[in-house]
Amino acid sequence: MRNPLADVTVPILDDLIESDYVRSLIVGTVGVLGALLVLGALFPDSVAGDLSGIVFSASTASSTARLAAPIVLAGLGGIFAEKSGVINIGLEGLLIISAFASVYVASVVGIGNAVLGVPAIWVGFLAGIAASTALSGVFGIVCIEFKADQIIAGLAVWLIALGLAPFMSTVFFGGVNTPNLGASVGWEYSAVMVIAATIASWWALNRTAFGKHLRAAGENPKALDTVGVSVSKVRHAGVLLSGVLSGVGGSALALSIGQFVGSGETMVQGKGFIAIVAYLFGNYNPVGTLGAGVLFAGLDAVQIRLQQLGYAVPDTLVQTIPYVVVIVVLALVGRTQLPEAAGEHYETED
């Protein structure tokens, strides 16, 4: 192995992570954070001191959790879709549609009211998930039943959501931005959902029959067909799961603020694309995706705090780091282990 970090063993993680690549990623991140902590403790007045103060502060943790939720959750969804053989680059659109639907339904129900004992904000949350799942269902039908080109259909999902959410917002609220609900979902919920979803995804992918079917649908659909499992059904399930998880992410994003912002690229601002990056970076491993998502969100959160402390780092440049990292990693590692049959239609031979 050319990567020395890949040989480091971490007993607890070894069972969870088979991939050397993901392990080196995690060990590297922990190492950098550890070095920062030591440097910060030794030289409290230096940049390292400030930086470690920021990185290990509670407010950074909470904003990281808030920013990471859509990235990690959509990334996990992307794994399910892509493992099943459907490349979903419409994650951004799913995030947008769920962000809008959650705020819209919460405001229709009215904060303070409840439906069947569920408070309005959580009704909105569920509605966001439903909207995203419905759109992913359409995407699935288009890709699997009508054999549409997955990348172009994914782009279309993004473009439709990008038009539809501000359109609906203007119809209902008279502007592309919705009014603020005056209530929000705390960051602790986002953090719990992200971690729970990561563990559940890992378990579903690696320890269940469904996970095996999913991987077979992406790697060797013919074999799956031969043992009598419908490839189409498994792929539909994978795509729908990407909708559910993205819906959780989009709702968490919008409801953590209590508003949908629809101007420009909307409040989602490319987080769906970063999510793709996160799961590729994590090499389709949910734990790796969590790590990558938290890393990207953490960079953003630290950068915001740095600005507040008066370091004149142009925030735009800091935001560019994840993109550059992805290109460098892709150039060095080369091809990520894309499922063998991803992007292909499968026709049952009956």
Partner 1 sequence: MSRSDAGAEGGGDADQVPSIARRVVSPFVDRSVAERLLISVAAILLSIVVGFVIVLVSGRIAQCSTAAWTMPLTGIGFCYDPVEVYLVLFNGALGYPFAVGEPGLFNPNWTPFNLSLGLTLSETTLLIFTGLSVAVAFRAGLFNIGTQGQLVVGALATALTVLAAAPFLPEGPVAGVVLIVVGTLAGAAGGGFWGAIPGALKAYADANEVITTIMLNFIAANIAYVLVLEVFRAEGSSVVATQYVPEHAQYLPWVFPESSDFALLALLVGLGFIVGLYYLVEHTSFGYDLRTSGVQAAAAEYGGVNAKATTVRAMTLSGAIGGVGGSVWVLMSEGRWMASVPALGFDGITVSILAGNNPLGVLPAAFLFGLLKGGALEIGFRTDVPTQLVGVLRGLIILFVAMPEFFRMAGRYVGVGSTGPGGPGGSASTSEGTDDEATAVGGGEADA
Provide the residue type at 218 as one letter.
G
Interaction between residue 327 and partner 1 (CB under 8 A): yes
Torsion of CA 59, 62, 66, 67, to 10 degrees: 60
Please select the residue that binds partner 1; options are 35, 56, 147, 188, rule is CB under 8 A: 147
> Of 26-34, 65-73, 246-254, 333-341, which part binds partner 1 (CB under 8 A)?
333-341
DSSP state of 220: -
Closer to partner 1 by Cβ: residue 310 or 334: 334
Interaction between residue 303 and partner 1 (CB under 8 A): no
State residue 260 phi and psi, 5-degree precision.
-110, 130
> Of 55-63, 94-102, 139-147, 241-249, which part binds partner 1 (CB under 8 A)?
139-147
Interaction between residue 162 and partner 1 (CB under 8 A): yes
List binders of partner 1 among 70-89 (CB under 8 A). 87, 89
Closer to partner 1 by Cβ: residue 123 or 157: 157
Q: In whole angstroms, what is the distance from residue 68 CA to residue 289 CA? A: 10
* Nearest Cα residue to 302 out of 287, 290, 291, 313: 313
> In the bound complex, what is the minimum distance in angstroms from residue 164's beta carbon to partner 1?
5
> In the bound complex, what is the minimum distance in angstroms from residue 208's beta carbon to partner 1?
27
In terms of DSSP H, where are the helices of the chain?
A: 11-14, 20-42, 47-55, 58-83, 91-109, 120-140, 150-173, 187-207, 209-219, 221-226, 231-255, 271-281, 286-309, 315-333
Place of tokens 């769920």: 98
Residues that bind partner 1 in the complex, under the rule CB under 8 A: 87, 89, 142, 146-153, 155-164, 166-168, 170-172, 176, 270, 273, 276-277, 280, 314, 316-317, 319-320, 323-324, 326-327, 330-332, 334-336, 338, 340, 342-347
